[in-house]
Amino acid sequence: MPVHSVSNVVVLPTKRTKSVLITMPDFKKIGAALLPPLFVMFMALLLWQIFASSPNSGLPPPTTVISESSDLILHPFFDNGGTDKGLGLHVLASLKRVALGYALAAIVGIGLGTLVGASQLFMRGLDPLFQILRTVPPLAWLPISLAAFKDGQPSAIFVIFITAIWPIIINTATGIRNIPDDYKNVARVIQLNPIQYFSKIMVPAAAPYIFTGLRIGIGLSWLAIVAAEMLIGGTGIGFFIWDAWNSSHISDIIVALFYVGIVGFVLDRLVSYVGSLVTHGMTVN
Partner 1 sequence: MHKSYLTLSHVGKSFQRGTNTTEVLRDISLTVERGEYVSLIGHSGCGKSTLLNLIAGLTPVSNGTVLLEDKHVNAPGPDRAVVFQNHSLLPWLSVYDNIKLAVDKVWAKESAAQRKVRIMEKLDLVQMAHAKDKRPSEISGGMKQRVGIARALAMEPKVLLLDEPFGALDALTRAHLQDQVMQIHQTLKNTVVMITHDVDEAVLLSDRIVMLTNGPAATIGEIVNVNLPYPRKRIELVSQPEYIRCREAVLKFLYERHKFVEAA
Site residues (vs partner 1, CB under 8 A)? 180, 182-183, 185-186, 188-192, 196, 200-201, 204-205, 207, 279-280, 282
**In terms of CB distance, is 15 or 280 closer to partner 1?**
280
Which of 226, 101, 85 shows the shortest CA–CA distance to 154?
101
Q: How far is CA 103 from the centre of its chain?
A: 12
Smallest distance from partner 1 to CB 187, Å: 9
What contacts 217, CB < 8 A, 6 or more positions away?
A: 102, 105, 106, 109, 163, 164, 165, 167, 168
Smallest distance from partner 1 to CB 158, Å: 34
79 forms bridges with which residues in the sheet? 85
Identify the three-state secondary structure at position 175: helix
Smallest distance from partner 1 to CB 190, Å: 5
Smallest distance from partner 1 to CB 211, Å: 13
**In terms of CB distance, is 124 or 188 closer to partner 1?**
188
What contacts 117, CB < 8 A, 6 or more positions away?
A: 123, 172, 173, 174, 175, 176, 177, 206
**In terms of CB distance, is 95 or 203 closer to partner 1?**
203
**In terms of CB distance, is 5 or 272 closer to partner 1?**
272
Smallest distance from partner 1 to CB 220, Å: 27
Smallest distance from partner 1 to CB 198, Å: 14
What contacts 212, CB < 8 A, 6 or more positions away?
A: 2, 3, 4, 167, 171, 275, 284
Which of 268, 241, 282 shows the shortest CA–CA distance to 102?
268
